[in-house]
Amino acid sequence: MTAEKTLASPRRSRLALVVAASSAGTVFEWYDFFIFGSLAAIIGRHFFANVGEAQGYLFALLTFAAGFAVRPFGAVVFGWFGDRTGRKRTFLVTISVMGMATFLVAVLPDHATIGVAAPYLLVALRMLQGFAIGGEYGGAAIYVAEHTVARRRGLATSWIQSAAGIGLALALIVILIVRTLIGEQAFEAWGWRLPFAVSLLLLALSLWIRLKLEESPEFQRIQAQGTLSHAPIAESFLCWKNLRRVLTVLFAVLAGQGVVWYTAQFYSQFFLERVIAVPPATVNLLLLTVIVASAPLYLFFGWLSDHIGRKPVMLFGLGLATLGFIPGFHLLTEAANPALARAAMQAPAAVVAPPADCSLQFDLIGKAKFVTACDIAKAALTNRGVAYTNRAAPPGTPTVIRIGGEQVASVNARGLNKATRAAAMRQFDTRLRAALRRAGYPAAALPSRINVPLTLAILFFFLVAATALYGPQAAALVELFPTRIRYTAMSVPYHIGVGWFGGFLPATAFAIVAATGNIYAGLWYPVGVSALGFVVTLFFLPETYRSEQMD
């Protein structure tokens, strides 16, 4: 017994180091994700100051998405290196590049300092950061799984998933501390840079831990046997057996995980803060509470998948999101801003305009000018979180906003010079604000009127769906692919699902809401993807939790 304990103790301590080192990159990844997402409005004002606040915010979201766009390409490059040269060496490079790209945002001059070069440099840093992340998650999940026996693989790899919650909580804590210490005005001016600067400490700690590691035993085994893949990219995507599994996991769980995770963690924040006007500090406290409370669920669902299988747990998460997101967000409005929900019911808004005067307000290059009366009316309501319906008027009819029984004439800025347009917009804004106030629409949610227990319960419900899907996922992915191509084959679909399906969710949902006037319309995107994932997982994804030999 003493000998067994002596042998077991080093194994446990070694596994703890492996888990800690692998999880550090996930903490880093999600810390960066949440500080950029949380500060998107402020970043938009600093780096896209020349296009207006609403368009600047959209550009900040698109910059955020640009980092996700390049993740699959990073997965191809670093996946190849991971399968050819080893797991440890590859994810030392990925975390170094990822960390420095995040830190440099803290010292990047803004538009007021260097003009139009500022947004281009910001986009370049986000793309570099996203490219490096493309090789990070796969390496971390594989490294832990290749050190763990099958019967505990779900629990062991779920520590990596739980690190995402730690990164999110850490981001919220840092933002709250900085905001509280220096005040909102200073935070908006320069303090927003400090959370990015803190990432340098995380990078140093992560590198220090990872340098203590050795190569994974599974990679050492196939290296010694001479069975390394000479062409992991071709073997992963040109061999139908492997490509079929890549496509299956992409549409079964990874696209779903991307949209479920970002809806629960980020879109809920956007909705609370930008749509139903809950004060940012209150939103941060609410999210911090549920993120901390839900952290053990990653481990629970990972452990559960070791006993009943990966599929049932992930299906539970996908089903919960499919059925619960839309009614959940309706209930969230009633809980967090009851005055807004009541006003929308008692005095619904409508934009009455000739259809030809209305544009789809989704401009990716900042060249379009939304100056018609219809566009101005829709933008004004969208920016205030006021839902509206679209009603067609005969050609040549002036655009009006109907709020209950009152009408507010919009302003047509076409052909007006800058000074005249600004004056007309101010007068329109004054009239609209007064009409909304008379109809009972609040300028912002009152913290004293928020049903905090119900709001927390709804946010927690969203996170149950996300953790059930995410907790067992790393183990399932690792078990689906052979060791020789595992880094490439699982990293690419993971970052397409997370990077493309999930990363573009905020900008896509925002555009859908602006186009339709329905503040819940953007949710059909994650609900549709989740429903597809449920069907593909149920009928096509193989169960793997009893796989002792992953090859």
Compare 422 and 546 and report the one with higher pLDDT.
422
Q: Please give the average per-residue pLDDT across 134-159, as a whole number.
A: 82
Q: Is 106 helix (H, G, I), strand (E, B) or coil?
A: helix
Confidence of residue 237 (pLDDT cuts 50, 70, 90): very high
Q: Say whether pLDDT at 369 is over 80.
A: no
**Phi and psi torsions of 211, nearest 5°:** -65, -15
What letter does residue 353 receive in the DSSP assignment?
A: E
| Residue ranges in 363-439 assigned as alpha helix (H) | 373-383, 418-438
Cα–Cα distance, 140 to 341 (Å, whole number): 44
pLDDT of residue 548: 55
Query: Amino acid letter at 61?
Result: L
Residue with the larger pLDDT of the pair 66 and 488: 488
Task: Please count the other Cβ atoms lying within 10 Å of the Cβ belonging to residue 8.
Answer: 10
For residue 352, give the 3-state DSSP assignment: strand
Euclidean distance between CA atoms 32 and 222, whole angstroms: 35
pLDDT at 434 (0 to 100): 94
The token pair at 463 is: 């996170």
Average pLDDT over residues 110-128: 88
Q: Out of 111-120, 139-148, 477-486, which region has the weakest mean confidence (pLDDT)?
A: 139-148
Average pLDDT (490-506) is 86
Residue 445 phi, psi dihedral angles, 5° rounding: -70, 135
Measure the CA–CA gap between 350 and 332, rounded to whole angstroms. 23
pLDDT tens string 73-101: 999 999 998 898 888 888 788 888 888 98
| 30-73 per-position pLDDT tens digit | 788 778 877 887 888 888 876 666 566 667 777 777 888 888 99
Sign, CA torsion 325/329/335/336: positive
Enumerate domains of the chain plus CATH numbers.
17-337+447-540 (1.20.1250.20), 341-438 (no CATH)
pTM: 0.82
228 band by pLDDT with thresholds 50, 70 and 90: confident
Per-residue pLDDT tens over the stretch 379-388: 888 778 788 9
Based on its alpha-carbon atoms, the radius of gyration of the chain, rounded to whole angstroms, reads: 25
What letters, b where the CB count within 10 A reaches 16 and e where it falls short, cover 64-101? bbbbbbbbbbbbbbbbbbbbbebbbebbbbbbebbbbb
Q: How does the average pLDDT of the chain come out, rounded?
A: 86
